[in-house]
Structure 1
Amino acid sequence: MNFREWPKAELHCHLDGGVRPTTAEELADAQGLDVPRPLRLIAPGSCSSQAEYLAYFDDALAVLQTEEALERSARELCLDSAADGIDYLEVRWAPLLHRRAGLTVGRVIEAVLGGLAQGPITAVAIACAMRHHSVEENVELARSAGSFAGRGLVGFDLAGDEAKFPAERHRPAFQAARAAGLHLTCHAGEAGPPESVLEALDLGLERIAHGVIGARRPEIVERIRAEGVVLDVCPTANWKCKAVASLAEHPLPRLLRSGVRCTVSTDSRTVADTTLSREFELCLSEMGLSEADLARTDQIAREAAFNR
């Protein structure tokens, strides 16, 4: 099956995790960055944890500190996604991590939205707060992001090392984002205990990024199903982060059979070294999903899209 020919929606795609390696090297050269070469952009399957996997975003972040770099990478991500058959894309990134060269949060957001607007597909943005940042910083981010609601920025997220930094303390940021008219999602269930998914659910979210570790507890699965929360699942990234021991043991098929609404995404096409078509192929060949199952996940993605 050639899934590149399927029109697809992707809801969980990180800008800094999807930079073209050639572009990253060119940007590093142009900016005169003193970073080891080649840049570390692709995480191996031998990562021991989510924290180790996240380290492979560092070099991409180093080159994405100018408006030109952000705009170019956003545009190219749309082009690469279109080539893979994606016609609707939600791109998430952490604006507070792109201020090393003096950019304001507003200029960071404008650059990314400008790049997305140049792409050949419908692409919108989700601003990520970081778990290790202060509550005050993330509340201010939510307010700044909210000022772009209706202009291509549609959602608010919390990302980072969930094993070390709980989500609950950032409740004020989610409240500020909701008040500003943004849709809410949160990374949870890719590291740490299953209770991290419960903690995220208590924030009043529409979607959860990953959620797979929560599948170990039947009562958590039932709550996700009952509340209609959508899980944006990324099989290869989940395996590389060691949220699952193997793709064959991934809970996605079981979650779908139990009535949980799930979508399939790459998470980070460069860091995970994958494409959405490749994720669909793995779901079919390694995880036991059918083509009908995959069509259902795409339908769910379109129903759960934040651009509505």
Structure 2
Amino acid sequence: MNQGNEAIPIGAWIRMSMVVPRGVPTLVGFTYVDHQEGPSAKGSRPDDPNLAERPEVTVRLAGPNPGLTWEALSQEEVRRLHLPRAPGWLHLYGEQPRPTTGWGEWRRHPALAGRFRPEHPDDLQVVVHDGGPKLSRERPEVVWVRMTGMDGDRFRGLMLNQPSKLKTVRLWDEITFVVAQGLPFPLLVTGKYLQERGNWTIRPCDKCGLSELLDAPSDLIRATFPQHPNAHLTEVFTQFCPLCGGVLSLKSVNRPEEDHEPETAPVPAPRAWWQFWR
């Protein structure tokens, strides 16, 4: 049996026991995220015929749980107890993390150290946006996000605030974000950006050190060189930093190091375009 509430898989059936309060039997429950209370589990005694759809007990997993021990049920146990993949009541709690996400594993990631709220140790602030100034007129905003998972240095979380003006993200969306140099908060990244990111080497801004972009490189190329018939073949270019007006350089990983310096983007972004948190 595992001890404590960190790394409990969310979206899974588990067996759990608690020393406190006394008299609580071993329970079988399904883990989920309550967007008000945090990670939780609903369950009953293993012999309860209504275990799956009418559980008797709700256990909050975010706070201290003295003596809590747990283990994930095997597929054989799930079949033997006639448990569904997910109970019918789960939809009442809105968007959920990907099944079997280990809750709390991100708390030990060095890139996120010091970013969580002490009273809500899975919540942190993230910069969300509709894109940079070449592609969007709306300024980025900072919102609170509740962590739901991670994959290396890429993190996922549910947005806890409704942005004021942004149109591409909204309350309870699960977003992906990274920790970028030059920013006080992690930065939302899109799936398209992540698909293209590995094809480019980004030299951080020469003034503030910003190390990531707000837009996919292919979208920036089209916006930067709209009249160029072969813009899609661009392998090296620069962008003015949306944070401070400095310069970021981009080079395709397939381009030899000895090639000439990148062509400079024609028009710089306004200085301090989104220093809205200062």
Bigger relative contact order, structure 1 or 2 (CA pairs below 8 A, ≥6 apart): 1
Compare the two structures and name the one with the higher strand fraction. 2
After TM superposition, the score normalised by the length of structure 2 is 0.26
- The structure in which a higher percent of residues are helix is 1
Taking structure 1 as the reference length, what is the TM-score of the superposition?
0.24
